[in-house]
Amino acid sequence: MFDGNFTLDDVRHSVVRLEIRGEDGFKLEGQSSMSQISRDPTELVGQTIGKHHSYPDGFALFLGTMFAPIEDRGAPGKGFTHKNGDVVRVSTGKLGVLENKVTTCDQAPPWTIGIAELMRNLARRGLLNG
């Protein structure tokens, strides 16, 4: 469980890992260091909030994984594409894992809550500190 002891420097020095596992046996693994991104997270936040931008419920800033898969999948020269059923895991040591299964938009369940309800849900489960 995340204990809330995570600093901005932890973000700056995190190693982000990406894993993709397909139902067809496809596997892809990679990692990248947040220290290699071109703009510091504080600069990105500074561009997000300000006089003309208001987020009463807060916002999430996704900094990305800093790489895109380039391996062929399916046929030589066709490049990479996700397939239904792929399990995608993005992780970093202190924060944990975000895992999702790929599906199409018409098959995915609708998102019916906002950020405020998400935060209340996390708080009820003891996943937020402070």
Span 99-121, pLDDT tens digits: 999 999 999 988 888 888 988 99
Closest CA to 63 of 21, 8, 127: 8
Q: For position 100, what pLDDT does the model report?
A: 93
Phi first, then psi: give them for residue 123, nearest 5 degrees: -65, -45
Q: Which residue has the higher pLDDT, 37 or 129?
A: 37
Rounded Cα gap, residues 31 and 16, in angstroms: 5
Rounded Cα gap, residues 73 and 26, in angstroms: 8
SS3 per residue for 94-123: CCEEEEEECCCCCCCCCCCCCHHHHHHHHH
Phi first, then psi: give them for residue 121, nearest 5 degrees: -65, -45
Q: pTM higher than 0.85 for the full model?
A: no
Sequence ranges of the domains in the chain: 8-124
Span 41-53, pLDDT tens digits: 899 888 888 788 8
Q: Which two tokens stand for residue 98?
A: 């975000």
